[in-house]
Amino acid sequence: MVKIDKLLINYKTLEAFKHFREYGHQELFMLEELQSNMIENNSESPFYGIYYGDSLVARMCLYKVDKKYDAYFDPPQDYMELWKVEVLPNYRGRGYGRALVNYAKSFQLPIKTNPRINSHQFWNKMGFQKAHYDMERDLGENPLIWLPEGVKEKTHDK
């Protein structure tokens, strides 16, 4: 059984994040906030991770989007936005990615993600499907969605 930890923002976590490929504005912003005391050490974050011993070896971000911003599901409802799902190269093939995504599913809300190209086999195995592409909504994204029982994708034809 793989343990998923909610990650708190501190220098140790932010240092560990540098090992991940999808290190970007979000991490830099957190670092600046911590350095300038705009957030406290050990503040809450949208990050969840898996530790192997003392090392962070997998992580994801998960954020609940309010139904008033929902453009993907029918009827409009709260859903989880999932991003930065990543397992460090030496720790792949152990089910860590699957464990993270299953954790995201455990909220029993629909999920939307915009994965990197070349990971579609993984998302397909996890039960995600392509959202019907809508250019004005999806500009530059490749959205995938996961529907819990009873939830439908929003359609544009109705």
Q: Which stretch binds its own copies (CB under 8 A): 50-58, 70-78, 98-106, 135-143?
A: 135-143
Residue 142 C-beta: closest distance to its own copies, Å? 4
| Per-residue tokens: 28 | 């830099």
Give the position of tokens 């906030």: 33
As a whole number of Å, the CA-based R_g of the chain is 16
Figure out which of the listed residues 10, 19, 22, 122 binds its own copies, where binding follows CB under 8 A.
22
Residue 17 C-beta: closest distance to its own copies, Å? 13
| Per-residue tokens: 77 | 């409802």
Residue 24 C-beta: closest distance to its own copies, Å? 4
Residue 151: count of CB within 10 angstroms of its CB: 17
Asked if 112 and 144 count as a contact pair (C-beta separation under 8 A), the reply is yes
Q: Which residues bind its own copies (CB under 8 A)?
A: 21-26, 28-29, 46, 61, 63, 65, 81, 83-84, 114, 117, 130-133, 135-136, 138-143
